[in-house]
Amino acid sequence: MKDFTPVCTTEIIAFSKANTYFEQRNSCLLGLSVDSNASHLAWVYDIYCKTGIQIPFPIIADRNGKIARQYGMISSNSSTSETVRNVFIIDPNQIVRLILIYPMEIGRCIPEILRCIDALQVADSNKASIPANWLNGEPIIIKSPTTFNDLMTRKKEINKNKNGFEWYLSFEIPKTKK
């Protein structure tokens, strides 16, 4: 992120408005910018004066780009010093579970980021996988059978319940939510 730039300003406002949705998912937002803390303060104050929105999460100053470089956020295709728009979803065990990379010209999609958090949480709590275009509350993919007997049992379940495509692809409603 870069202070006082058009796309980043729309993103910081949008993330601020959506912060409650992240908190409901037990997730914390954190901004990282190559600008100084003084620049961050002036920028968030400018946003507040023009919109009334207070930024509810910290923005870290990464003046030398050390953190951005460690996380691979500087794209040599775009610039040698400007970061691309990255989103890292890091789980409670400090493991990076998902990385979304947007070019500098494209703002991040908050509904997709929230969907990804939901998907990771539901997949983890159900020990299952998440299908394409999934939305919270929709069926998830049941773990595939690993033995021939389990395959045959799954085939019978699919025929009875009409909950699958084939033995390797069947669905269920999540037992637990995020």
Model pLDDT, residue 175: 86
pLDDT digits (tens, 9 = 90+) for 107-125: 999 999 999 999 999 999 9
- List the catalytic residue out of 8, 28, 49, 116: 8
Measure the CA–CA gap between 60 and 71, rounded to whole angstroms: 14
| CATH fold for domain 109-178 | Antioxidant, Horf6; Chain A, domain 2 (3.30.1020)
Mean pLDDT across the chain: 91
Domain boundaries, the chain: 6-107, 109-178
**Which residues lie across from 74 on neighbouring strands?**
83
Inter-CA distances, 28 with 15, 149, 171, Å: 11, 44, 31
Confidence of residue 71 (pLDDT cuts 50, 70, 90): confident
Q: How many Å apart are CA 3 and CA 39, to the nearest integer?
A: 7
Q: What is the pLDDT of residues 17-65, one digit of tens each?
A: 999 999 999 999 999 988 999 999 999 999 999 999 999 999 999 988 8
143-163 tens-digit pLDDT: 999 999 999 999 999 999 999
pLDDT (tens digit per residue) in 161-174 = 999 999 999 999 99
CB 33 within 8 Å of CB 40: yes
CATH (one of 3.40.30.10, 3.50.50.60, 1.20.1250.20, 2.60.40.3500) for 6-107: 3.40.30.10
pTM for the whole thing?
0.88
- 8 an active-site residue? yes
Q: What pLDDT shows up at residue 83?
A: 58
